[in-house]
């Protein structure tokens, strides 16, 4: 169809012809090239914005006037036209009219955000909000246009009317504000004027309750309670982060202004639905750290431990509906639940045990570093902030007696996985998070100050310790008392380098003095590989002593045999 014909059909106003036109374009958008799209977009926007397409709303904002219902054909044409606009606007090329300030003004009018007092929650207003969200995502200039035309205040006011908004509009407004609040503390402050904390809390509470209690909800629908919660949590994460950074910058600059309420304190009541997601809603499978749990962890990461403890103490009986829950039982539940989320996700993402080995094909699309590091940081913050919780977390994450029958970085247990991550070259964020967590669990008790590295093994901790500027004295053999009642292991000597029982080392092979030359060479190869991997982590730059010995020894002909070992040879 020629572009002149499409414009002619729009100008005639014949509803059947317009519906047929929109249906044709929607079913085959590839039929319009860039030049045709450029000529078509502006008259389409004008047509949609200037005509009276108003439908009866699905829900009416309390106290706001209702617009009259019009013919179904007009509603169908309006919705179809906006779907076409959204489809053609997925690329900026040829869609200049949509991504202009006039285009933003048209979308504000069509969506009803230009006049909140007459907002109608309809299929057409929802499609217009989808177009707006897409425009913000694709072109940064749209953010400025939205600000200049009071779009932020309109979104804030609309969320205040949340009890009468559909899930679709809740989702779309949260998504728009998620895009708008990236590194924009000024926008967060503007939204605070419209009580954004209470609006966010109510959206989260309402939809979390639906997830928990309403089994009839179609969770496969594009917009459902889970997707609404996800967008609200992403928006919350942005707002706390942006506002918190601004406050930190003001403190660093020595501002004398009265200290305002902190972002975590302002959004403190949003913590309750976050805790319900983490502790009461069964996590997704096979990867527990998937939405909504992953977004809940991201949001929780922005709260300091004192605020979390305060909300936990205030609402823990409401969360568990158990007034008899003791403080110790609550702490044990928290430690075990966080450990379970971490362990199950870790085992799924790294089934081959080596964090630097390529993931199986069906898991390579995951950003493992981004998935694992947030929950580890949350665990670290909880352990650091609550001395009563720390030993429970340490019991779950640090090696136990049975783990010391081999070097503590070997094996299939959670502690072995975490200790291997301490020297990972491919997962730097997770590596640093694990190291910080282990440092809290070990050094809060002053073990590192006493040169006691037996919990994780000096060889696994050396890079992190150097990076933190901690003096490293040559470790001595230490002793450990059994924590699980196994008298055979009481007062066993531990190799501080590997964390393994010395007696178990004797069972596994000969001492250096008893080795053949071939066995010594084999151990040298392993040491060579260990130092090369340590250098790859980037947290310590050391010269490989094996390579140095080879160089100073004049390049022994056997040196070519030093190579990276296969994992089954180590």
The 10s digit of each residue's pLDDT in 8-63 is: 777 666 778 888 888 888 888 777 788 888 888 888 898 888 755 445 444 444 33
Residue 127 scores a pLDDT above 80 = yes
Q: Mean pLDDT over residues 301-327, rounded?
A: 87
459: nearest Cα among 394, 542, 403: 542
Chain-centre distance of CA 401, in angstroms? 34
Q: Do 234 and 295 contact (CB within 8 A), yes or no? A: yes
pLDDT at 568 (0 to 100)? 44
Indicate the average pLDDT of the chain.
Answer: 83
For the chain, give the percent of residues with pLDDT over 90.
50
Give the pLDDT of residue 61. Answer: 40
pLDDT for position 223: 94
Task: Judge whether residue 461 has pLDDT over 90.
Answer: no
Domain ranges for the chain, please list them.
1-149, 151-250+260-319, 326-508, 522-569
| Angle, in degrees to the nearest 10, between helices 458-467 and 428-443 | 100
Per residue in 220-229, pLDDT (tens digit) is 889 999 999 9
Instruction: Assign domain 1-149 one CATH number from 3.40.50, 3.30.1600, 1.25.40, 1.10.40.
Output: 1.25.40
User: pLDDT band for position 149 (50/70/90)?
Assistant: very high
| Across 125-139, 169-183, 245-259, 431-445, least confident range | 245-259
Question: What is the mean predicted confidence (pLDDT) over 182-210?
Answer: 94
pLDDT of residue 563: 47
Q: Give the pLDDT score at 73.
A: 46
Q: pLDDT tier at 485 (50, 70, 90 boundaries)? A: very low
Checking if the pLDDT of 3 tops 60, the result is no
Of the candidate ranges 136-140, 272-276, 531-535, the one whose mean pLDDT is the lowest:
531-535
Sequence length of the chain is 570
Query: Higher model confidence: residue 127 or residue 31?
Result: 127
**Closest-CA residue to 424 (of 382, 492, 373):** 373
CA distance 128 to 85: 9
Closest CA to 19 of 82, 87, 73, 88: 73
pLDDT value at 260 more than 70: yes
DSSP, residue by residue, 221-281:
SSS-HHHHHHHHHHHHHHHHHHHHHHHHHHHHTT--SPPPPPHHHHTGGGHHHHHHHHHHS
More confident residue, 551 or 108: 108
Half-sphere exposure of 549 (CA within 13 A, CB side): 11
How does pLDDT run across 520-565, given as a tens digit for each residue? 787 777 667 766 766 666 655 666 665 666 666 655 544 444 444 4
Average pLDDT over residues 291-310: 97
What pLDDT sits at residue 2?
55
Q: Which of 328, 232, 324, 326 is nearest to 274 (CA)?
A: 232
Q: Does residue 391 or residue 251 have the better pLDDT?
A: 391
pLDDT, position 292: 97
SS3 call for 121: strand
> Do 442 and 395 touch, CB atoms closer than 8 A?
no
State mean pLDDT over 427-437. Answer: 96
**pLDDT > 50? residue 263:** yes
Tell me the CA distances in angstroms from 570 to 21, 102, 415, 502, one per residue in order: 68, 66, 19, 19
Q: Is the pLDDT higher at 368 or at 64?
A: 368
Tokens of 437: 């967590």
Tell me 509's DSSP state.
S
Spatial CB neighbours of 326, under 8 Å, sequence gap ≥ 6: none
Q: Is the pLDDT of residue 273 over 50?
A: yes
Quick: pLDDT tens for 350-382: 999 999 999 999 999 999 999 999 999 999 999
Mean pLDDT for 189-196 is 94
- Per the rule left: phi > 0, alpha: psi between -120 and 50, beta: everything else, 469 is left
pLDDT reported for residue 57: 46
Q: Which candidate, 96, 83, 159, places its Cα nearest to that of 124? A: 83
Q: What is the dihedral of CA 320, 325, 331, 335, to 10 degrees?
A: -50
Out of 24-38, 170-184, 428-442, pick the least confident: 24-38
Given a cut of 70, is residue 325 above it in pLDDT? yes
Mean pLDDT calculated for residue range 460-466? 84
Q: 219 pLDDT band (50/70/90 cuts)? A: confident
Parallel, antiparallel, or unpaired: how do β-strands 120-121 and 59-60 relate? antiparallel
> Are the C-beta atoms of 9 and 68 separated by less than 8 Å?
no
* Dihedral (CA of 142, 146, 147, 148) sign: positive
Q: Which two tokens stand for residue 449?
A: 């100050």
For 411-428, give the DSSP string: SSSHHHHHHHHTT-SS-H
Tell me the C-alpha distance between 143 and 153, whole Å. Answer: 13
For 434, what's the count of Cα atoms within 13 Å in the CB-facing half-sphere?
A: 28
Q: What is the pTM of this model?
A: 0.83
Residue 456 is predicted with a pLDDT of 87
């Amino acid at each position: 169809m020629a572009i002149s014909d499409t414009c002619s059909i729009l100008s005639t106003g014949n509803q059947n012809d317009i519906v047929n036109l929109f249906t044709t374009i929607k079913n085959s958008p590839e039929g319009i090239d860039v030049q045709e799209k450029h000529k078509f977009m502006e008259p389409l926007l004008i047509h949609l914005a200037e005509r009276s397409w108003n439908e009866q709303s699905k829900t009416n904002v309390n106290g706001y006037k209702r617009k009259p219902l019009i013919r179904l054909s007009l509603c169908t044409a309006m919705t179809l036209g906006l779907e076409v606009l959204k489809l053609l606007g997925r690329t900026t090329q040829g869609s200049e009219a949509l991504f202009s300030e006039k285009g933003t003004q048209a979308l504000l009018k069509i969506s009803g955000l230009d006049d909140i007092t007459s907002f109608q929650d309809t299929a057409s207003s929802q499609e217009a909000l989808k177009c707006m969200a897409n425009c913000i995502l694709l072109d940064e200039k749209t953010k400025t246009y939205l600000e200049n035309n009071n779009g932020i205040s309109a979104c804030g006011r609309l969320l205040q009317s949340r009890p009468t908004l559909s899930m679709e509009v809740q989702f779309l407004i949260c998504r728009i504000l998620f895009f708008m609040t990236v590194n924009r503390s000024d926008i967060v402050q503007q939204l605070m004027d419209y009580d954004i904390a209470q609006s966010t809390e109510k959206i989260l509470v309402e939809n979390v309750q639906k997830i928990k209690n309403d089994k009839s909800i179609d969770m496969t629908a594009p917009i459902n309670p889970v997707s609404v919660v996800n967008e609200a949590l992403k928006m919350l994460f942005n707002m706390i982060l942006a506002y918190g950074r601004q406050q930190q910058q003001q403190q660093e600059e020595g501002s004398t202004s009265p200290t305002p309420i902190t972002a975590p304190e302002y959004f403190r009541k949003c913590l309750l639905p976050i805790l319900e997601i983490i502790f009461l809603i069964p996590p997704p499978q096979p990867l527990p750290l998937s939405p909504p749990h992953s977004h809940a962890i991201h949001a929780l990461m922005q709260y300091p431990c004192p605020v979390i403890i305060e909300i936990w103490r205030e609402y823990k009986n409401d969360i568990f509906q158990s007034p008899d829950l003791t403080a110790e039982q609550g702490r044990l539940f928290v430690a075990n639940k966080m450990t379970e989320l971490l362990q199950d996700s870790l085992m799924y993402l790294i089934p081959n045990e080596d964090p630097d080995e390529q993931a199986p094909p069906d898991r390579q699309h995951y950003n493992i570093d981004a998935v694992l590091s947030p929950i580890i940081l949350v665990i670290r913050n909880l352990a650091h902030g609550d001395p009563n919780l720390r030993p429970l977390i340490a019991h779950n994450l640090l090696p136990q007696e049975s783990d010391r029958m081999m070097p503590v970085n070997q094996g299939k247990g959670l502690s072995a996985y975490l200790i291997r991550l301490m020297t990972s070259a491919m997962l730097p964020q997770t590596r640093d998070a694990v190291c910080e967590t282990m440092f809290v669990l070990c050094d809060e008790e002053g073990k590192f100050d006493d040169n006691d590295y037996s919990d994780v093994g000096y060889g696994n901790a050396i890079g992190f310790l150097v990076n933190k500027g901690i003096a490293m004295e040559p470790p001595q053999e230490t002793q450990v008392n059994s924590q699980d009642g196994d008298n055979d292991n009481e007062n066993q000597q531990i190799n501080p380098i590997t964390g393994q029982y010395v007696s178990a080392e004797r069972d596994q092979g000969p001492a250096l003095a008893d080795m053949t030359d071939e066995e010594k060479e084999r151990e040298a190869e392993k040491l060579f590989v260990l130092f090369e991997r340590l250098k790859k982590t980037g947290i310590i730059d050391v010269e490989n002593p094996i390579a140095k010995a080879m160089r100073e020894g004049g390049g022994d002909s056997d040196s070519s045999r030093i190579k990276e070992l296969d994992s089954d040879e180590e």
